[in-house]
Structures are given as structure tokens and as C-alpha cells.
Amino acid sequence: MQNNGFLRGREIAAMVLIIVGIKLSDSTPALLAQKAQNGFWLIPIIGFVCIFPSFLILLYLLKKYKDKNLIEMFEQLLGKWGGKILGIILFLFALFTTTVQSRNYVEQIKLLYFPESPTIAIFFIFFTVAFFGAKRGIEVIGYTTWIGLLFVKLSAFLIVILVFGDVVFERIYPIFGADFSIVLKEGFLKSSMFGELIFFLIAYLAAQDTKMFRKGSIIAACIAILEITLYCIIYVTVFDYNSVSKIAFLFHDITQFINMGQYFTNIETIFMVFWLFAAFLKFIILGYIIVWIYGAVFHIRNFEPLLLPFCFIIGSYGLLPFSSARNELVFHDQLLNTMSPFLIIFPYILLLVAFMKGELKK
């Protein structure tokens, strides 16, 4: 059964930093660069500006309905069935997002570190770890994430320091890449790359004080966008104009630039350990959130036994795309484009409904 009221602000912030901030190290930057070229570093900023007000609106509404979780708030505003339909849509988006991303991370592990291992074996190990981690409950997940966050962020900061000598700032030009209109359009369509912020709102009542949740999540979201933007600028200025849109795993390629002398070789392996730890934490958190949303929609209070079947479902569907390129350039791209308008607009609709019902005056 979920542990209600145990998470502190620092643990909330740590989980948000992991599930959102780790996007700087997956294939998301490479996807953003496909159309915007070297102007892709602006896309996360534009996307964040588009979706962050929607996130704040949901936080505001949750503050108004103090004793209700995200799905219960939907049902209060839209009625039982309207709230359930909205909850199911949110659940499906969270499930599809995790499924597509899981294939991405497994392919990275396979291609970069274990090329001889079958994909299905890596999937099995990956989600076995995620299942046992998620089964410990949200309180343990939050504490573990807080403890491990320092090491993950220190390794990410160290990479920036060590590759700074390879930065050529002139490579950032033209600033708007292919065209500013393309950057704007992609910024809007890819704003759902921050969709985990909205999915994570299901944990609103798990904080010791809801004020801690609001403060921790907002601060963490702002830090995450700064981290992602910084790394995107690093990618643009380290790799040349033609390379930035052709490298699938920019983070792992950039670690190849790190040189600490002839006695320290394969330094990238050290950073791989911290990246892998962060990846496990991300899917532990997302797995728990998905089951939590499902449990809230169908009023299943003791939802944790569902973790095992859902880990199996995510792993099974993650194996479906025939190639990592198709998974990323087709499925992930289309999913982000579909989710973005929905995640941006529906909080405004809820706010309007609440205003028309007079609920905001309470």
C-alpha cells in the first residue's frame, strides 16, 4: 500500500530532477536536432515555457482541493466519468512514454556497453531491477533518489568541466539553426518532453506538507531546464554543424572527449555507472507513478501488486519496434507531438470549469 505523507521537499525535488533532468543524457537531444539542427538547444526552453504554466495551474487546483489527489480532482471538476476518461488518457500517455523511453535506454546499454547481449536479456534485467526498486514504496524510492542525486549530478557537472576545453562557441551560429519558425514549432510540439512533471502530480498527497511538494517540484523543474539547456549548448559547441543531428547518443559520445592522461583510460566507464544508476532510478519512479495513476483511476487502494504485470507489459511492448532508430525517430517523435497539445491545453480547461463552477472562490 502506498505510504502517504512521508516525502519531504528535498525528496520531491530529487525525483523530479531524475525523471526530467536525465533527458540531457538520453537520445532526446538528438531527436530535437533532427529538424532544428544546431538551434535545437532553444527547443527545451520554448517547450518548458509552453508547458510550465499548465503545470502551475494543476498545482494551483490541487491546492484548492487539499484532500484530493490528481484523479479525484479530475472527477470533482468533470464528473465521475469525465474525470475517469481524463485519468485514463493521462495513464496511457505515461505508459506509452515509459515504454518508448525504455527501449531507448535498453538500446543505449546494449549498443554502447554490451553489444553481444540480446536485447530481451537486457530488458529482463532492467525491469527486474526496476520492479524490485519500485516495490519498496514511494518513501524508500524518494530517500534513495535523494541519497544518489548528489553523485549523479556531480558526475554530470564534472563532464562539463572536463570537456570545456573542446568547446568552440562559434559553432552555436546560426543561433536559430535551420530556421526560427522551425525552432518555435518544434518547441511547442516537443513540450511534452517535460510531461513527467504532470504525471508526477499523482504523488501530491504523498508529501509531508503539500507546500513542500509545490516548492520542491517547482525548484527542481527550473533546475532541470537549466541543466538540459546547458548540456544542449555543450553538444552544439563541441560537435560540428553536420554531426550534431547524426549522433544518436550525444551524452555518451561526449564522454569520449574526456582525457585525463595516459594512465587514466576508459574514463567514460566511470560516468556510465552513474548514468546507469540514474536510469534505473528514473524507471523505478515512472513505474511506480504509472501503477499509482492506474490505481487512482480504478480506485485500487493497494495497487503495488500491479507493479509486476505492468513491468512485464512495458518490457513486452518496448521490444515491439524493430529498430532503435524507428523507435526514436518515428514512435517517440509522434508520441511527443501528440501529447504536447493535450498536456498544455487540458489544465486551462480544468481551470475554466473550476471558475465557472465557483470553486476558485473557496
Instruction: Show me where the domains of the chain are located.
Output: 9-361
Tens place of pLDDT for every residue, the chain, 362 residues?
A: 344 558 888 999 999 999 998 888 887 888 888 888 888 889 999 999 999 999 999 999 999 888 888 999 999 988 889 999 999 999 999 999 998 888 888 888 887 777 777 878 888 888 888 899 888 889 999 999 999 999 999 988 988 888 888 788 888 888 887 788 889 999 999 999 999 999 999 999 888 888 999 999 999 999 999 999 999 899 888 887 667 767 777 888 887 777 665 555 566 677 888 888 999 999 999 999 999 999 999 988 889 889 999 988 888 787 776 666 666 667 888 889 999 999 999 999 999 998 888 777 76
Cα-Cα end-to-end distance for the chain? 32
Give the closest residue to 168 by CA, choosing from 257, 279, 56, 43: 257
Write out the three cell numbers for 241: 554543424
Q: Which residue matches cell numbers 519500485? A: 134
Question: Whole-prediction pTM value?
Answer: 0.92
Yes or no: is domain 9-361 CATH 3.10.310.40?
no
In this structure, the number of other CB atoms found within 10 A of the CB of residue 115 comes to 8
Which 8-state DSSP code applies to residue 207?
Answer: B
